[in-house]
Amino acid sequence: MVRKTVVVIGHGMVGHRFVQAMRDRDVTGAWRIVVLSEESAPAYDRVALSSYVGAWDRDALALSGNRYDDDTSVELRLGEGAAAVDRDDRRVVTTMGIEIDYDALVFATGSYPFVPPVPGSDAERCFVYRTLDDLDGIRTAAEAAGPGATGVVVGGGLLGLEAANALRLMGVEPHVVEFAPRLMPLQVDTGGGALLADLIGDLGVKVHTGVSTTAIAETDDGLRVTLGDESVLDVSLLVFSAGVRPRDAIAREAGLPVGERGGVLVDQACRTQDPDVYAVGEVAAVDGRCYGLVAPGYSTAEVVADQLTGGSTTFAGADMSTKLKLLGVDVASFGDALAVTERALEIVYSDPVAGTYAKVVVSDDASTLLGGILVGNADAYSLLKPMVGQRIPGDPSALIAPAAGSAEIGLGALPDDTEICSCNGVSKGTICAAICEGAADVATVKEKTCAGTTCGGCLPSLKKLLADAGVAQSSALCEHFSHSRRELFEIVVATGIRRFSELITRYGTGAGCDICKPTVASILASTSSDHILDDDRAALQDTNDHFLANMQKNGSYSVVPRMPGGEVTPEQLIVIGEVARDFGLYTKVTGGQRIDMFGARVEQLPQIWRRLVDAGMESGQAYGKSLRTVKSCVGSSWCRYGVQDSVGMAVTLERRYRGLRSPHKIKFGVSGCARECAEARGKDVGVIATEHGWNLYVAGNGGQRPAHAQLLVSGIDDETLIRYIDRYLMFYIRTADRLQRTAPWLESLDGGLDHLRDVVCDDSLGIGGDLEAAMRAHVDGYRDEWSAVLEDEEKLSRFVSFVNAPETADPTIAFGEESGRKVPVLLGAPSFPGT
């Protein structure tokens, strides 16, 4: 089969979406895809560009599968753009001088930042806000300016306020200059813009509206910016964020028609005048109009992929609704937000005390919702946006007034063709059909429909549709307890119950199972400093906790001594080596900066641990749902880039939280600078040093579902850092479900990161003191689990392969050699000691 070639010029979010859509549809492998990317970084989440600030981790913004490493049908050429297009010969010449023939060509060149023609706009300290490289340049200038630096952002739209927030995160005091009479003039009205200006002004951002920038002059230590009202701002740097323009230069040079305001003219099939050339995303002027949001861009990518693979899909218009948090302020705009529809009516509810503004635009007979604006509180967005164009089942003022939320106004009243997920074009009917076919939770609905997998703004609607369908998941832990894990936790704390038998007698039924027993065991361990093998608790544990070691595939165990922050003395290393040698153990340095010793028989565990404990080492709890490791770089003690003592902080944190039992395992990382050698943003708790203090990241993890940690707070001192981590961990332990890691816990938490920040940093629930006291009780009561076992003959008696023949070793445990390494050999089914 002769394969055809499609060349994609541009590898932004939409270009990447096009490649994915082509690979999904091209089941026969008829197309070869060549992607030209001017940037050295493959496709990343430009919408979340501001999250790059603080972490400075490019990988954190990378879009899934953006390198196509295992896909032989896709060739990605990074750092190589298009220099020219020869439509007669159907050939693209790259910036490297390479000629590539095409059967189809897709322009996905996006847009470029508009820089107003202001004298001095090319000064060295003037920047634009568009790419990762742009942010790196701004960061360098901000660091050079030092403490007390100020900056100007020219442009008060979406990107302008994002840029202002980025400057704040870099320690720069920002001014925002907007030519229009209000902020975000394309999304909000006068009332919403006024409230927005007040709210972000309270955060330290100086707002100048209704004024232009007339001149920029360089000074010895910065810039002098003159505004249209003749006022002058002396600042350290300036960022232009005054809108974007379609990147259509190459298309123009190739003779393709462009729109009146720029952009490559395409029809509803996103095809240009040349039938072999298409345009997607911000550069595509569909019937003369360019769309600057990612959702319509994705739609154009899907259209072209469908057209090239034999389909007939066309572009059906775009939802320009937006919901975001700017400098901590909720802002949402949907439908005909500015009431441009003839004879439309506006209903406004403003509460300056609460700092909220809401407006809905309805038809002249008040029967149909046309659009709206929310500032300060955007909780109603997930309900209102899908209702645009639909009949309002009740009093329209109830949509935004304090009494809103009556039973008659909700998703249930909307028809099945209502679009719930605008990013992926998923209707209410599609979601409800997935629920009827057995999707009983949000994760399954996302998997089956793709709803909620892009911006996540529709997740509350997915939960509501599940509840309306009567399939809201039970919170019962198992068949023996009708309570959730969180409720059982509160019961244990309130009643002081310390035995599983008493708990199930009073609050459950039956004898328990392998779900509720280890869960209750974890709760009991989280609420006291009693040893996990005391009383009847030993029988509740799974195999690993029962023997304080991690069972391997052939029934042997691994031994992992704790090394706080990765530190270990030469004497301890010698002991580890001698133990491994004497007991014939396989040793491996783990990714968490520990030494793991494999192949120990259960009866050998006490002998091994006695030698390790005598050397001053403790259990690393590698077997438990608890703190595993605190990984660190060498920090300012040794590294020339380090700005804080990351090793000292890692040791402090590991010693504080060692032995802390939780719903799932917990891992920490502490990096001494933004170079992030400890990979802190892939941990449940990530701490990154800056010159202004510590940045605290939460709810990240590796594993089957990797998740990047999210920035909770920045620039805090040691004491505040530990206090916030205390609260965060104890709040997680109290409220998470069974075996729920911190990332999905945060995702399921009502209010998400903002609510968590309110609880941890602002003590919005008034439980900060309780959470800190619970953590102090753990710290004060901690005792190494293996040390306690070695001092207790009854506990030691458990460590045998067969209780009726304690001197007999398990004959099914055997080892072999592979490539010079000791490996387990399976002679039969792995045994379970104690049987």
Same domain for 631 and 771?
Answer: yes
User: pLDDT-based confidence at 538, cuts 50/70/90?
Assistant: low
Is the residue at 798 inside a domain? no
Residue 781: CB partners within 8 Å, gap ≥ 6? 528, 529
Max mean pLDDT among 409-413, 445-449, 525-529, 731-735 falls in 731-735
- pLDDT exceeds cutoff 60 at 406: no
Low-confidence winner among 668-677, 713-722, 771-780, 819-828 (lowest mean pLDDT): 819-828
Q: Do 288 and 391 touch, CB atoms closer than 8 A?
A: no
Q: Domain end: 420, 453, 473, which one? A: 473
Nearest to 699 by CA among 674, 653, 672, 664: 664
Is the residue at 710 inside a domain? yes
What span, in angstroms and rounded, lies between the C-alpha atoms of 813 and 823? Answer: 11
In the chain, % of residues over pLDDT 70: 92
- pLDDT exceeds cutoff 90 at 470: no
Is the residue at 117 inside a domain? no
Strands, sheet with 4-9, edge to edge from the N-terminal-most edge strand: 74-78, 31-37, 4-9, 104-107, 277-279
What span, in angstroms and rounded, lies between the C-alpha atoms of 381 and 372? Answer: 9
Residue 181, pLDDT score:
93
What span, in angstroms and rounded, lies between the C-alpha atoms of 302 and 246? Answer: 20
Is the residue at 18 inside a domain? yes
Same domain for 639 and 759?
Answer: yes
Same domain for 376 and 524?
Answer: no
Same domain for 618 and 637?
Answer: no
pTM for this predicted structure: 0.56
User: pLDDT-based confidence at 805, cuts 50/70/90?
Assistant: low
What span, in angstroms and rounded, lies between the C-alpha atoms of 736 and 507? Answer: 20
Same domain for 638 and 749?
Answer: yes
- pLDDT exceeds cutoff 80 at 423: no
How many Cβ atoms are within 10 Å of 367's Cβ, its own excluded? 12
User: pLDDT-based confidence at 465, cuts 50/70/90?
Assistant: confident
Same domain for 635 and 759?
Answer: yes
Domain holding 250: CATH number? 3.50.50.60
Radius of gyration of the chain (CA): 30
Nearest to 320 by CA among 462, 187, 163, 459: 187
pLDDT for 710-740, tens place per residue?
999 999 999 999 999 999 999 999 999 888 8
Residue 801, pLDDT score:
67
- pLDDT exceeds cutoff 80 at 454: no
Same domain for 490 and 501?
Answer: yes
> Which residues sit in the known binding site for siroheme?
677
Q: Do 532 and 520 touch, CB atoms closer than 8 A?
A: no
How many Cβ atoms are within 10 Å of 785's Cβ, its own excluded? 24
Angle of helix 605-614 relative to helix 570-582, nearest 10 degrees, comes to 160
Residue 1, pLDDT score:
65
| Token representation of residue 222 | 């910065």
**Of residues 805 and 562, which shows the higher confidence score?**
562
Q: For residue 804, what are the CA distances in angstroms to 796, 797, 809?
A: 15, 12, 12
Q: Do 711 and 753 touch, CB atoms closer than 8 A?
A: no
| Token representation of residue 171 | 């320690």
Q: What does the DSSP assignment read for 651-716?
A: HHHHHHHTT-B-SS-EEEEEESSTT-TT-GGGSSEEEEEETTEEEEEES-B-SSS-B--EEEEEEE
Residue 537, pLDDT score:
66
User: pLDDT-based confidence at 592, cuts 50/70/90?
Assistant: confident
pLDDT for 742-757, tens place per residue?
988 998 888 889 899 9
Residue 757, pLDDT score:
93
Nearest to 325 by CA among 721, 711, 714: 711
pLDDT for 25-39, tens place per residue?
998 899 999 999 999
Residue 548, pLDDT score:
81
Its domain, for residue 491, covers: 485-541
3-state helix, strand, coil in the chain (%, to 5): 35, 25, 45
pLDDT for 176-217, tens place per residue?
999 999 988 888 888 888 888 888 887 788 999 999 999 999
What span, in angstroms and rounded, lies between the C-alpha atoms of 131 and 72? Answer: 28
> Which residues sit in the known binding site?
633, 639, 673, 677
User: pLDDT-based confidence at 602, cuts 50/70/90?
Assistant: confident
> Which residues sit in the known binding site for [4Fe-4S] cluster?
633, 639, 673, 677
**Which burial class, exposed, middle or buried, applies to 64 when counting CB atoms under 10 A from its CB (0-12, 13-18, 19+)?**
exposed
Same domain for 81 and 148?
Answer: no
Is the residue at 479 inside a domain? no
Q: What does the DSSP assignment read for 592-653?
A: TS-EEEEEE-GGGHHHHHHHHHHTT--B--TTSSBEEEEEE--HHHH-TT--S-HHHHHHHH
Q: Domain end: 394, 409, 424, which one? A: 409
Is the residue at 797 inside a domain? no
pLDDT for 651-698, tens place per residue?
999 999 999 999 999 999 999 998 888 889 889 999 999 888 999 999
Is the residue at 795 inside a domain? no
Residue 830, pLDDT score:
41
Low-confidence winner among 2-16, 357-371, 442-456, 500-514 (lowest mean pLDDT): 442-456
Nearest to 293 by CA among 261, 273, 266, 318: 318
Same domain for 44 and 132?
Answer: no
| Token representation of residue 90 | 């159907």
pLDDT for 106-157, tens place per residue?
999 999 999 999 999 999 999 999 999 999 999 999 999 988 899 999 999 8
What is the length of the chain?
Answer: 835
Number of domains into which the chain is organized = 7
- pLDDT exceeds cutoff 60 at 829: no
H/E run at residue 290? strand 289-290
Mean residue pLDDT of the chain comes to 87
Dihedral-angle region of residue 452 (phi above 0 means left; psi in -120 to 50 means alpha; beta otherwise): left
Residue 409, pLDDT score:
56
Quick one: average pLDDT of 4-10? 97
Residue 472, pLDDT score:
61
